[in-house]
Amino acid sequence: MRWSQLFIPTLRDAPADAEAASHKLLVRGGFIRQLHAGHYSLLPLGLRVHDKVENIVRQGMDDIGAQEFLLPAMHPASIWQRSGRWDSVGPEMFRFQDRKEADLALGMTHEEVFSEIAREVTSYKSLPQIWYQIQWKFRDEPRPKSGLLRVREFAMKDSYSFDLDDAGLDHAFEIHRQAYIRVFERLSLNALAVQASSGMMGGAGSVEFMVPSPAGEDDIACCGACGYAANVERATSTLAPMDDGGGGKSGELERFATPGVRTIAALEAVEGGAVAHRQIKTMVMVLDGSMTLALLRGDHRLNLQKLADSTGALEIRAAEPAETFERLGAHPGSLGAVGVTDLPVLADHALNGRRNLTTGANEDDWHYRGVDVDRDICVQQWLDLREVSAGEPCPVCGHPLEVVRCIETGHIFKLGRRYAEAMGATVLDADGVNRAITMGSYGIGIGRAVAAVAEVHHDDRGLCWPMSVAPYEVVITVPSMRDEPAVALAEQLYSELREQGCEVLLDDRDARAGVKFADSELIGIPWRITAGRAAADGEVELTERASGETALVDTSAVVAQVVTAVESARRQD
RNA sequence: CGGGACGUGGCGCAGCCUGGUAGCGCACCUGCUUUGGGAGCAGGGGGUCGCCGGUUCAAAUCCGGCCGUCCCGACCA
């Protein structure tokens, strides 16, 4: 294409409120424009990248024998009511009514609709099946942010596997896992497959694909020695045993005055206090409307997703200080579970068997010491509630864990039979017995993957697209449109490269050289041919965007060289 | 939803405190010069100052309400 005829509105300045590199550069490069919060228009350049990502994902699915569908984006409430999710997913689903006042929703995922179709699969002989689509999802995110990274309307590849038994599901899950690894490799994304929480999808297990980036919103814990990796919502670590003193015997429970002490740190510092790991942290949480105490070691942090997963609670919030005071008689900073029997008490495993600890006494300015957890606290359930921290030993091999900020670009779930049972998707097995199909569901966010590539592949001049997703493979820059031999040469190279199947952009704008160079670097085309002052001598410059390396190449050889570079990048795909 | 910030041509901003003709840079149009790293000069076009209401002779500016956007926290591909 000729740049002079394209709509590529590049900007010298990024929008003031953009923070993430991908957000700034995709806007500056003329790839996207915001319509409103969480909704972006894809401009021609942006759509080309988006299409390329889509096609790589599509090939990944086709390679494992998946079949492409296209389902409605708008759903009747009835199918969501049948699965039970009309009530359970909450305000994240866009809901509205049609003129007949029938309830409708915009699809945020498609387990229900695919299960509905799967009711027509009636024999085990038709299994397994893998079905997918690439289609728009709508989620009323509480907080859209960072350009394409977190939006309310986005293209997602979602696939669904249907199997007779768990072994079949395990296989479908595994081939998806491998397909995803391959897809992210082709996108030049270093995605780590990590154990994850299943969240609203439910089910037996899930793996997330995480691209390390400071623009991400998730933390994963990973081990450099054995490869253990898990979202901090799931990750565990091995803790050293604690010596609680007293020769293994419990001391007396003793109440003592702690005027003004409101934090773990303050209690560490005060006379007669205790180091953080000898304290009990008491978190007052409201789980689906009912107040609950969550207990952790003083130096540990509560992970809310762990609390949600282990209790099945849908809505979790911290209690307001006023509510806390009303129920427990003290404000945060003086709370404890000693003697509490009228509220559920959940405790983290790290407190199991501990003695001689210090905790709040449920009266402002008073604490207890000598607390023996087994003796003094009525623990209803022992759970894994704490979030791991960097440096703690890997639960598998003991090597210190790293915590890495990541972008979640894919997530795969073993759903089991829940949806098939709810939707009535059953088959007859070899014995003529009706059995619910077992399902998996698998997602990749296309726009988020585009943003993730931009996050990982850019420099201070702009984007550096990998060949596999670049909007064009080569740009031919003519520094001066008055240089007739150069223009003629550029035109010739342009048509030759197109004949060779390259996606070429010819910068034929009547603009200054500096503008053209800066724009070509901003939009990140992998190779640039500069047809300029050396044209008269039969030479052009060939510049690789990512490395910045430039070579003078004979005019007669440049097409072959570029074609080779493009094809070799395509092959590595 | 809780906390913070902001809303002025396409983008980036000033003006607001102390009310009185809406301004700057980039971008855009015309002309001349320039021509391999975001050119110079001259001329020009474009703004309901987020919306509604109030105070006032007079509101971008002061007051109230609403809407929107962004950032930090609780959610997800």
Predicted structure pTM score: 0.94
Q: Provide ipTM, 2 decimals.
A: 0.93
Tens-digit pLDDT profile for residues A146-185:
999 999 999 999 999 999 999 999 999 999 999 999 999 9
Measured CA to C1', the nucleotide nearest A541 is B36
| Per-residue pLDDT band at A313 (split at 50, 70, 90) | confident
Measured CA to C1', the nucleotide nearest A535 is B36
Residue A317 to residue A313: CA distance in whole angstroms: 10
Protein-to-nucleotide distance from the CA of A263 to the C1' of B19, whole angstroms = 50
Residue A253 to residue A249: CA distance in whole angstroms: 12
Measured CA to C1', the nucleotide nearest A305 is B75
Tens-digit pLDDT profile for residues A327-366:
898 888 899 999 999 999 999 999 999 999 999 999 999 9
DSSP β-bridge partners for residue A400: A393
Q: Which nucleotides of B are covered by protein (CB under 7 A)?
A: 1-2, 10-13, 25-27, 34-39, 68-77
Does residue A42 contact residue A71 with C-beta atoms inside 8 Å? no
Protein-to-nucleotide distance from the CA of A522 to the C1' of B42, whole angstroms = 32
Protein-to-nucleotide distance from the CA of A566 to the C1' of B75, whole angstroms = 41
- Tell which residue, A383, A379, A565, A541, has the closest CA to residue A476: A541
- Tell which residue, A200, A199, A177, A191, has the closest CA to residue A220: A191
Residue nearest B12, CA–C1′ metric: A13
Does residue A530 contact residue A490 with C-beta atoms inside 8 Å? no
Cis check for the bond before A479: say yes or no (omega within 30 of 0): no
Residue A482 CB in 7 A reach of strand B = yes
Measured CA to C1', the nucleotide nearest A445 is B77
Residue A128 CB in 7 A reach of strand B = no
Residue A16 CB in 7 A reach of strand B = yes
Does residue A324 contact residue A284 with C-beta atoms inside 8 Å? yes
Residue A145 CB in 7 A reach of strand B = yes
| Per-residue pLDDT band at A110 (split at 50, 70, 90) | very high
Does residue A175 contact residue A182 with C-beta atoms inside 8 Å? no
Protein-to-nucleotide distance from the CA of A398 to the C1' of B47, whole angstroms = 64
Protein-to-nucleotide distance from the CA of A36 to the C1' of B64, whole angstroms = 27
Residue A516 to residue A476: CA distance in whole angstroms: 10
3-state secondary structure of A510: coil
End-to-end CA distance of chain A: 24
